[in-house]
Amino acid sequence: EPEVTQTPSHQVTQMGQEVILRCVPISNHLYFYWYRQILGQKVEFLVSFYNNEISEKSEIFDDQFSVERPDGSNFTLKIRSTKLEDSAMYFCASSVSGSSGNTIYFGEGSWLTVV
């Protein structure tokens, strides 16, 4: 069964460093997403991406965050200057369409620890 894959599974980085989290969405999917889950908190929406541009972003997704689809398969989340509060599990997801009710498939997550 096709799945969303994410790398790395775990990354430790120093505060202020740049981090890139990588994702390979399911191949025929057109919508891509990043969500995050801070330890002990809810899973939160960060951003959705369609047709090579951001379609929606949350208030969490400020200027230090960016997303990119550098080629036909990868979808990346970059955090420019990491802060301690960026420590979280980051989930990449994808879906065939953007309509409500369309299933969104998640990867296994990338656990980011900022020290």
Three-state SS at 29: coil
Please tell me whether residue 45 binds another protein under the rule CB under 8 A.
yes
Please tell me whether residue 97 binds another protein under the rule CB under 8 A.
yes
In this structure, are residues 67 and 78 in contact, taking their beta carbons and an 8 Å threshold?
yes
Please tell me whether residue 95 binds another protein under the rule CB under 8 A.
yes
Shortest Cβ distance from residue 87 to another protein (Å)?
17
- The owner of tokens 């960026």 is 86
Shortest Cβ distance from residue 109 to another protein (Å)?
6
In this structure, are residues 11 and 110 in contact, taking their beta carbons and an 8 Å threshold?
yes
Q: Nearer to another protein by C-beta: 17 or 97?
A: 97
In this structure, are residues 70 and 76 in contact, taking their beta carbons and an 8 Å threshold?
yes
Q: Cα separations (Å) of 42 from 38, 39, 89?
A: 7, 8, 11
Please tell me whether residue 35 binds another protein under the rule CB under 8 A.
yes
Residues making contact with another protein (CB under 8 A): 4, 31, 33, 35, 41-45, 48-50, 55-56, 91, 95, 97-109
